[in-house]
Chain A
Amino acid sequence: MLRDATGFFQDRVLAPTDARDAVRADFAMDEDSFRAFYDRTARGLWAYLARVTGDRQAADDLLQEAFYRFLRAGSEYESEAHRRNSLYRIATNLARDSKRRSVIRPVAAVSGEDIERVAGSDSAGSLDRSADVERAMARLRPNERAMLWLAYAEGEAHAEIAERLGLKVGSLKPLLFRARRKLAGLLGGKGKSNAV
C-alpha cells in the first residue's frame, strides 16, 4: 500500500505531466481512425441499445458513454470485428448496469412522441410493425433481447454474439433457441405470410 502511495506521489506530484499529453497517451486511436469507426458503428449501436434497454433516451446516453469507455480502454485491436465486439461488449455491460441501477425508465409501449419522431419517414403499416416488435421485445429479458438482436437483426455468428455478451458459445445456442421461441410466441402469426 505504501508502495502504491509512493508510486502515485512520484508519478503525479514529483513528475507532473501535462494533462493533454496524458489524455493522448490514454487514447489508443487517433482522431481520424476514431471518427471513421464511429461513423461506421454509431447508428447500429444506437439501434441495439434502444432495443436492449427499451428506452431511446437511455440509448442516447449509453451510446456516448460506450464510445468514451471504448476510447479510454486504450486497447490495440487485431481486426475490425474484434474492435466492434469490444465496443458492443462495453455497451452491453453499460445497459446491464443501467438496468440494475434502475436508471432506465421501465420499458413502455411506443409513445406518441416516438411515433412523431418517425412519422415523417415511415408509413402507418411500418409503424404498426415497429410497435409490435417493440412491445414483444419489451416483454423479454435484456439478455434475450441482446441475443436476438445480434443474431437476427445484425446477423452475427454465434462466436461473435458470445464474445459480445460474455457468454460461452456452447451455452448460447440453447439460450438463443429459447429466446427465439419466446419472441415468436409473442409476435404470433403476424407477418408469417410475408416472411415465408
Chain B
Amino acid sequence: MPSDCCFEAEVLAAVVECRWPERVDPELRQHAGACAVCAEVALLATELRADRDRLRAEAAPPESARVWWMAQMRARREAEKAAARPITAAQVLGTAAAAWFAGACYGATSEWFRAEFTQISGTVQTLGVAGFLASGTGLLLAIGTISILVLVPTAVWLAVAKD
C-alpha cells in the first residue's frame, strides 16, 4: 500500500467540512472507492470526527470565570510561597556573615590564632608551598580549606534550591 495519495487532503477536507460523502465531486468519491489510501483516510476521519463530536458534547469543562479565578488564586499562592523562599536565602547569608564576623574577631584577638598563623606563614616562606603541602599539617589544612570552599556553597545552594 502506498503511504500517500495526492487526493488524500481533499478527502480529509471533505470529511472535516461535513461534505463527505454526499456533497463531494462524484469523481473524488469514485477515486476513494478504488484508492486504498483515500478509503482509509475517509474511514478514519469519519470515525474520529464522529468520536470528537460525541466527546465534545459530553465534555463538561468548568466555567471560564471559575477557571480564571482559580488560576488567580493559585498564582497568588505561588507568588506568596516564592516570596517566602528568599527568607531562607537571607538567613543563610546572615548566618555566613555572622560566622565570618565571629571568625574575624577571634582571629584579631586570639594569641593562639596569631601564633599559628605566623608559624604557617614562616613554614610556607621557608619550605615553599609544595614543601608545606607535603608536610602532614599543611596537607590537612589544605584539605580542610578546600572542603569548606566546596561544602559551604553547596550547602547554601541546597538551602536555596530546596523550596
Contact yes or no, A64 B55, CB < 8 A: no
Q: Is B3 an interface residue (CB 8 A)?
A: yes
8 A Cβ contacts from A24-78 to B: 26-27, 31, 34-35, 38-39, 42-44, 46-47, 50-51, 63-64, 67-68, 71-72
With A and B bound together, what is the CA distance between A180 and B43 in angstroms? Answer: 10
Contact yes or no, B61 A153, CB < 8 A: no
With A and B bound together, what is the CA distance between A8 and B93 in angstroms? Answer: 12
Q: Per a CB cutoff under 8 Å, which of B12, B50, B52, B70 touches A129?
A: B50
8 A Cβ contacts from B114-135 to A: none
What B residues does A196 contact at CB under 8 A?
Answer: 21, 29, 32-33, 39, 42-43
Q: Per a CB cutoff under 8 Å, which of A8, A42, A177 touches B61?
A: A42
What B residues does A22 contact at CB under 8 A?
Answer: 76, 79
What A residues does B83 contact at CB under 8 A?
Answer: 12, 16, 19
- A46/B93 contact (C-beta < 8 A), A8-B86, A149-B48 known: no
Q: Per a CB cutoff under 8 Å, which of B33, B44, B59 touches A46?
A: B59
Contact yes or no, B43 A195, CB < 8 A: yes
What A residues does B56 contact at CB under 8 A?
Answer: 43-44, 46-47
What B residues does A64 contact at CB under 8 A?
Answer: 62, 67, 70
- Chain B, residues 87-117, CB within 8 Å of chain A (1/0): the string is 1011011000000000000000000000000
A117 and chain B: residue at smallest CB distance: B58
Q: Per a CB cutoff under 8 Å, which of B44, B65, B92 touches A148?
A: B44
Interface footprint category on A: 35 or more
Q: Is A97 an interface residue (CB 8 A)?
A: no
What A residues does B58 contact at CB under 8 A?
Answer: 117-118, 121
Tell which of A79-87, A163-171, A183-191 binds the partner.
A183-191
**B82 CB to closest chain A CB, in angstroms?**
7
With A and B bound together, what is the CA distance between A71 and B68 in angstroms? Answer: 9
Q: Is A1 an interface residue (CB 8 A)?
A: yes
Contact yes or no, B41 A180, CB < 8 A: yes
With A and B bound together, what is the CA distance between A180 and B1 in angstroms? Answer: 12
Contact yes or no, A12 B86, CB < 8 A: yes
Contacts A/B (CB < 8 Å), 28 sampled: A1-B153, A1-B156, A4-B160, A8-B86, A8-B89, A9-B86, A9-B89, A9-B90, A20-B76, A23-B72, A23-B76, A27-B75, A35-B64, A35-B68, A46-B56, A46-B59, A47-B52, A67-B71, A71-B71, A117-B58, A133-B51, A134-B51, A148-B44, A152-B15, A155-B15, A184-B40, A195-B45, A196-B32
Could you list 16 further interchain pairs (A-B, Cβ under 8 angstroms) beyond the known A16-B83, A133-B48, A195-B45?
A: A19-B76, A20-B76, A22-B79, A35-B65, A38-B64, A38-B67, A47-B55, A67-B67, A67-B71, A72-B75, A117-B58, A153-B49, A184-B43, A187-B47, A191-B46, A196-B29
